[in-house]
């Protein structure tokens, strides 16, 4: 429920974006993990904005319309022993 509320708030605040992805990230266990995941996602072509949360184990990503979700999920895997699962998406 908390994740759904978080996702809704973020979607409303980024209504100007082309696509917003909300991703559940498994494997984030320490304060460095969200930094590593954010860095990896940020390096993906077409990513405009990233916010990661250790508390909620989630990443919210704003991307250009042509970016495929799988590209972002691959970036998460490349960051280390993390696995991402898309739990929400909105296109504008």
CATH number at residue 87: 3.30.70.100
Q: How far apart are CA 57 and CA 77, in angstroms?
A: 14
**Residues whose CB is less than 8 angstroms from the CB of residue 74 and which lie 6 or more positions away in sequence, other chains included:** none
Residue-by-residue pLDDT tens, the chain, 92 positions: 567 666 665 665 555 558 999 999 999 999 999 999 999 999 999 999 999 999 999 999 999 999 999 999 999 999 999 999 999 999 88
What is the total count of domains within the chain?
A: 1
Residue 50 tokens, joined: 């990233």
Domain residue limits at 68: 2-91
Q: How far apart are CA 64 and CA 17, in angstroms?
A: 8
């Amino acid at each position: 429920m908390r994740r759904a509320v978080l996702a809704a708030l973020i979607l409303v605040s980024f209504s100007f974006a082309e696509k917003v992805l909300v991703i559940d990230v498994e494997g984030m266990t320490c304060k460095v993990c969200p930094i590593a995941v954010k860095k990896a996602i940020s390096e993906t072509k077409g990513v405009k904005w990233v916010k990661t949360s250790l508390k909620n184990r989630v990443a919210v990503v704003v991307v250009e319309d042509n970016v495929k979700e799988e590209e972002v999920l691959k970036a998460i895997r490349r960051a280390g022993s993390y696995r991402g699962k898309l739990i929400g998406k909105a296109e504008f």
